[in-house]
Amino acid sequence: MAEVAQFVRHGSSKITARTLQNLLKQLPMLKVEFTLVSAPQYPHLVDQLELLADVVEDYAEGKAPDLPLNAVAAAAFAITYAHRKLDLIPDLVAEQGHADDSVIVRAVLIEFEVAFQKYAEARGLDWDVITIQK
């Protein structure tokens, strides 16, 4: 898992204010796209992606100023990674296409668990349901 965490940190370090602004424009479309993800092996992936999208959106709109910038950058990286069709395991690969997306998202949630848990609970979301291991 250390290699994944390092990969996430590296990818997150490339997120700029401009990247966040561009991502913010795409979020409505991405949220719809994420609801269409069919990954029964990773039943919490959609909820996790929606949480991370909300994090980016709320931070960019000034609704979550207490979130650490590096947590928001990691959320943005995970969203961007999950949106890619050709990544480490292409999404079209039957039954395993979202395995890498799930690993990246889980790494981000684990790395910034305290910040995201506070964010989720402040919005009335059940953190334990969102972060079930799978």
| Band (41; pLDDT cuts 50, 70, 90) | confident
**Tokens in use for 30?**
């991405």
Prediction pTM value: 0.89
Residue 134 confidence (pLDDT): 41
- Asked if residue 39 lies in contact with residue 13, where contact means CB atoms within 8 angstroms, the answer is no
- Asked if residue 7 lies in contact with residue 77, where contact means CB atoms within 8 angstroms, the answer is no
Residue 91 confidence (pLDDT): 54
CA gap 98, 111 in Å, rounded: 20
pLDDT in tens, 65-120: 999 999 999 999 999 998 876 565 555 555 565 678 889 999 999 999 999 999 99
CA gap 64, 55 in Å, rounded: 8
